[in-house]
Amino acid sequence: MNKLLKDEISAGLQSSIPFISPKFFYDDIGSRLFEVITHLEEYYPTRVEKSIMQMYEHQIATSIGACDVLLDLGAGNCAKASELFDSIKPQQYLALDISKDFLESAIADLQKRFPHIEMRAQVCDLSQTLHFPNLENKKKTFFYPGSSIGNFNPNQVSSFFKNIASICNGSGGLLIGVDLVKDSQVLQKAYDDSLGVTAAFNLNALLHINHILGSNFDLTDWEHFAIFNESESRIEMYLRALRDVSVTWPDNSLNFKSGEMIHTENSYKYTKDSFTNLLDNAGFKNIETWTDPKNYFLVCYAKA
d(CA 98, CA 229): 28
Determine the Cα–Cα distance for residues 200 and 33; give it in Å rounded to an integer.
8
Please tell me the pTM assigned to this model: 0.91
Hey, how many other C-beta atoms are within 10 angstroms of the C-beta on 67? Answer: 25
Type and span of the H or E element at 207: helix 197-213
Distance in angstroms (rounded) separating the CA atoms of residues 40 and 90: 31
pLDDT tens for the chain, 304 residues: list them.
588 899 999 999 999 999 999 999 999 999 999 999 999 999 999 999 999 999 999 999 999 999 999 999 999 899 999 999 999 999 999 999 987 788 888 899 899 999 999 999 998 889 899 999 999 899 999 999 999 999 999 999 999 999 999 999 999 999 999 999 999 999 999 999 999 999 999 999 999 999 999 999 999 999 999 999 999 999 999 999 999 999 999 999 999 999 999 999 999 999 999 999 999 999 998 999 999 999 999 999 999 9
pLDDT confidence of residue 1? 52
- Given a contact cutoff of 8 angstroms between Cβ atoms, the answer to whether 264 and 200 are in contact is no
Q: Which helix (H) or strand (E) holds 28?
A: helix 28-37
CATH of domain 44-182+270-303: 3.40.50.150
> Residue ranges of the domains in the chain?
44-182+270-303
Q: How far apart are CA 30 and CA 27, in angstroms?
A: 5
Q: Do 23 and 31 touch, CB atoms closer than 8 A?
A: no
What whole-number distance in Å separates Cα of residue 195 and Cα of residue 192?
A: 9
* pLDDT for the residue 131: 92
- Rounded distance between C-alpha atoms, residue 90 and residue 228, angstroms: 38
- Supply the pLDDT for residue 100: 78
* Model pLDDT, residue 70: 98
Give yes or no for a contact between 226 and 239, defined as CB atoms under 8 angstroms apart: no
